[in-house]
Amino acid sequence: MFFKKKYIPKNIKSPNIHKNRDKIFNNNNPNLLFLLNKRFQWMEKYVLRKKNVFELGSGNGCLKKVLNYKNIKLTDIIKYSWIDKKVDMLKVNLGKKYHKKVDVFIINHSLHHCANPAIALEKMSKYLKKNGVILINEPETSFMLKLIQIVLDDEGWCLTDKVFQKKRNLFNAKDPWVSNTAIAQLLFQDETKFREFFPQYKIEKNNVSEFLIFLNSGGVNSDFFHIKLSNFFLNLVHCLDKILIFFFPTFFALNRSVILKKIKS
């Protein structure tokens, strides 16, 4: 079952965004804060002193827990009170004023909810300045992620989706919670293939990470049992993650981080 190329959950679950946001911003969970710091702190140098920075698919806005800069505009297809601008990732409808003027796009665990990621990446390139970047965190469909998805009957994956085609959507674009957690893997694992379809981008980072620091975080969009740890032990766990993922990336890794740099108009 874990080696199936496709898995569809029985029920598409809609997380309680307001509850999850309250947990992230108001609950003192050092494990979750450690996880979020690891996901976002590496982005800091790319957004500092930049004028136009947009996060697409911001959801609960957890990015601002770590990178709380005024220059970052949160966007989502649903206009929650903390969202600065309603934006459909499939259309990236920022308006003409941002054409070739965006410094940074950030996508955190939302690209796999986009029904046509190839169109989204193409539209982002039209708004990006030359040398502008897209900073991405996405699920990595390892053995362990598949096991988690099956046990929780949560999100699904499809390793046969044609993620580079633009004519047909991969799934229903009207439901924001339908997803394919293998999208980042399909797009970026073969860098040569990605460059064939997107010569305007250069992949500057393409790393996999996160195992125990995610499993013991208490959950970002869900609530899980966790054992609170001090910063010392969290760093030890993080080091153990690095070792496990270095030797067995396809078994343990739960997250992929990517930097795309626009090198051509």
Res 2: pLDDT: 61
Residue 1 lies in a domain: no
In this predicted structure, what is the pLDDT of residue 172? 87
pLDDT score at 53 = 98
- Residues in the chain predicted with pLDDT less than 70, given as ranges, are 1-2
pLDDT of residue 12: 77
CATH code, 71: 3.40.50.150
Q: How far is the CA of 100 from the CAs of 20, 31, 122, 166, in angstroms? A: 34, 39, 13, 22
How far apart, in whole angstroms, are the C-alpha atoms of residue 32 and residue 36?
Answer: 6
Q: What is the model's pTM?
A: 0.96
Tell whether 44 is covered by a domain.
yes
- CA 257 distance to own-chain centroid: 8
How many structural domains compose the chain? 1
Given phi > 0 = left and psi -120 to 50 = alpha, else beta, which region is 134?
beta
**258 vs 138: CA distance, rounded Å:** 8
For 132-160, write each residue's pLDDT tens digit: 999 999 999 999 999 999 998 889 999 99
Please name the residue ranges forming H helices in 128-230. Answer: 143-152, 183-188, 191-197, 212-215
User: Considering the domain boundaries, does residue 93 fall inside one?
Assistant: yes
Q: What is the pLDDT of residue 27?
A: 80
Q: What is the pLDDT of residue 1?
A: 56
Domain that holds residue 190: 6-262
Quote the pLDDT of residue 223.
84
In whole angstroms, give the CA distance from residue 198 to residue 192.
10
Question: Crossing angle for the helix pair 231-247 and 30-40, nearest 10 degrees?
Answer: 50
Q: Identify the pLDDT of residue 214.
A: 97
Nearest to 180 by CA among 109, 245, 119: 109
- Say what the pLDDT of residue 83 is: 97
